[in-house]
Amino acid sequence: MDAVLIMVGAFGVYLIAYKCYGKFIGRKIFNVSNAHKTPAVEFEDGQDFVPTRKGIIFGHHFTSIAGTGPIVGPAIGIIWGWVPALIWVLVGPIVMGAVHDFGALILSLRNQGKSISEITSKYISPRARTLFFLIALFELWIVIAIFGVVIAVIFSMYPQSVLPVWGEIPIAILLGFFIYKKGGNLGLYTGIAVITMYLTVVLGHFIPLTMPAVAGIPPMGVWSIILFIYCFIASTLPVTTLLQPRDYINAWQLLIAMGLLILGVLGSAFAGKLSVVAPAIQIAPEGAPAMWPFLFITIACGAISGFHSLVSSGTSGKQVAREEDALFIGYGSMLMEGFLAVLVIIAVAAGIGIAYKSGDLTLTGITAWSAHYDSWGAAKGLGSKVGAFVVGSANMIAALGIPKELAIIIMGVFVASFAGTTLDTATRIQRYVVQELSNDFKINILKNKYAATAFAVITAGILAFSTGVSGKGALTLWPLFGTVNQALAGLALMTITLYLKRKGGVKYLISGIPCLFMVIMTSWALISNQGNFIKSGNGLLIAANTIILAIVVWMIIEGINGFCSQRKE
């Protein structure tokens, strides 16, 4: 019953937070009003700026910000105990993450749909804009390169997921065609699309697909090449052709998966099979870094993530039709992601204890949990994180009478689909960033969407294959991603804070206090990592981390200077 109490209690906390704190921020702090014309309406072009129904843009926004983040972060962060992880994914989204996402979305809506990087010039300084662009480019570069590896790993672990994941693409295109071109009934065609999608899941169970090596390139490298080609095509299409409809049906997939998890928690708990077996607190797990500050770096999506500000001010800011929709999209989706992170914590803290295979043995209880989390090294790999969540979830869903093998496929498709959505969105956002920079620096060739997208894809491909044909090159820079991502969150909050300070009063404290917390935690982690990189003698990480730390310090100085010199708007 402890797992049920955690789930119900968390849902209640998020609901109250949205109804009270969220609406307070929307109405009293940002003064949202439909009297403000949104960029989607003002600059509608049928390509990137497209006024969109609230439910559809929520689907795009949520699936883009979520990806695998709220799964892999909590699945490893629980090594410090389920209590610290749970506290962070409860408090973080409400007072930090949702404020960050919603604030970045509002700033974009009130600045012609521009990215948070470009907007920084207006509220801090032109130098700060350049520094923000550098961090955003670096983060997106790693994201695009690494997610080819992420999806390839998932396809390797769950070959039954390959057919359903790729099957979503024609389903989404047809959905977009019938809704936008033929004016079809949204509810009817949504139902058909979702049912068809789950039929492909069943089909995938009987037709698992395994990628062979091609021309000496191993399967992971082949998948990376295919995914980069897909990204180029998908990211240059109008958003209504693939991006919106795919993300929309993925959102329904999320709701169904979360519904199965909720029912699985209830069913397995009332059957007496579910209890939290993970330790409440582990201050010093074997080989793990210190809980402070690394808990707040490890669990990003699900609490607060800088990547979300790029989505809010990248794709979502160009599709919101009414400004008042922004609260549901920006603040609401972050709380939904927090609740997903809570379900992940339950899956890896309790669900895994129902049954866990280790070799020829089937372990249960604390023994099962310990077999997976006996050390930081055992728990930190991507396959280990995803595997813990999928196994724990499938154990709980099996209590509903759904065969465990099918439940594993459903969860595998769920994770892979979200990773694909993030990859698609990240490529499109990188294109926007490159185009904005090209406008600023008068690089005419990169103003073209095809050239800018090619730049995003080719540079990511160079990183992915920098260590060989396996496509794993991005893993060399992956140790930097957590701190870069959370540094971006702190800097986005800094921009939001200076925007609010222009309004007068103390409104800026709503984002200013979270900004201070994130800047301190990220700087602490950057300095700690630098010591570890020096000890290991890794020259590449030492140099890259030094540059990132210097950019963060410079941005802090720019922010303080802007804060002190800024006048009321």
Q: Please classify residue 444 by burial: count the beta carbons closer than 10 Å to its beta carbon, then call 0-12 exposed, 13-18 middle and 19+ buried.
A: exposed
Q: Scanning the structure block, which residue is given the tokens 């795009």?
A: 60
Boundaries of domain holding 191: 2-565
Q: What are the residues whose beta carbons fall under 8 Å from the beta carbon of 500, sequence distance 6 or more?
A: 29, 103, 507, 508, 510, 511, 512
Q: What's the pLDDT score for residue 67?
A: 76
Quote the CA–CA distance of 527 and 64 in Å, as a whole number.
30
> What pLDDT does 505 receive?
87
Tokens of 160: 């039954």
Using DSSP's 3-state secondary structure scheme, residue 159 falls into helix
320 bridge partner residues = 52
Q: Are 58 and 322 in contact (CB under 8 A)?
A: no
Strands (E), 334-482: 356-358, 361-363
| The pLDDT of residue 272 | 87
State how far the Cα of 342 lies from the Cα of 74, in Å rounded to an integer: 8
Give the tokens for residue 233.
């095509």
pTM, entire model: 0.94
Q: Distances in Å between the alpha carbon of 235 and those of 240, 307, 450? A: 11, 17, 9
| Cα distance between residue 561 and residue 167, in whole Å | 52
Given this model, what pLDDT does residue 569 score?
46
* DSSP annotation string for 444-478: GGGGSHHHHHHHHHHHHHHHHTTT-TTS-GGGGTG
Do 392 and 350 form a contact (C-beta atoms < 8 A)? Answer: yes
Q: What is the three-class DSSP state of 438?
A: helix
The rounded distance, in Å, linking the Cα atoms of 110 and 33 is 11
- pLDDT at residue number 427: 95
Integer angstrom CA distances of residue 151 from 100, 132, 178, 422, 428? 28, 28, 29, 11, 18
Say if CB 21 and CB 33 are below 8 A apart: no
Residue 96 tokens, joined: 């930090």
Residue 489: predicted pLDDT: 96
Let me know: does 106 contact 511? Beta carbons within 8 Å: no
Mean pLDDT per 10-residue section of the chain, whose length is 569 residues = 91 97 96 96 94 93 87 92 97 98 98 94 91 92 89 89 94 94 91 95 92 93 94 93 92 91 94 92 90 96 96 96 97 97 96 85 87 74 78 93 90 88 92 90 90 96 93 90 95 96 92 97 96 94 95 93 73
Question: Which CA distances in Å does 220 have to 224, 312, 373, 413, 427?
Answer: 6, 31, 26, 18, 19
Tell me what pLDDT residue 371 has: 82
SS3 of 94-127: HHHHHHHHHHHHHHHHCCCCCCHHHHHHHHCCHH
What is each CA distance from 88 to 252, 295, 299, in whole angstroms?
26, 8, 8
Give CA–CA dist 104/97, Å, rounded. 11
Please tell me the predicted confidence (pLDDT) of residue 108.
97
Structure tokens at 393: 């979830």
CB 51 within 8 A of CB 40: yes
Q: Can you tell me the distance from the alpha carbon of 530 to that of 204, in angstroms, rounded to the nearest whole number?
A: 45
d(CA 567, CA 569): 6
Cα(18)–Cα(331) distance, rounded to whole angstroms?
8
Angle, helices 509-536/291-298, rounded to nearest 10 degrees: 110
C-alpha 110/C-alpha 323 separation (Å) is 9
Rounded to whole angstroms, what are the CA distances from 25 to 317, 330, 514? 18, 12, 14
Give me the pLDDT at residue 221, please.
94
Instruction: Estimate to the nearest angstrom the gap between the alpha carbon of 82 and the chain centroid.
Output: 21
Give CA–CA dist 414/252, Å, rounded: 11
What angle do the packed helices 186-206 and 162-176 form, to 10 degrees?
A: 160
Query: What residue type is 50 in one-letter code?
Result: V
Split into its structural domains, the chain has a count of 1
Task: Fill in the DSSP letter of residue 566.
Answer: -
Query: How far are the Cα atoms of 160, 213, 221 from residue 218, in angstroms, in the given order?
Result: 19, 4, 5
What are the residues whose beta carbons fall under 8 Å from the beta carbon of 35, sequence distance 6 or more?
none
DSSP string, 192-222: HHHHHHHHHHHHHHHS---PPPBTTB-HHHH
Q: Which residues have a Cβ under 8 Å from the Cβ of 565 and sit 6 or more positions away?
A: none
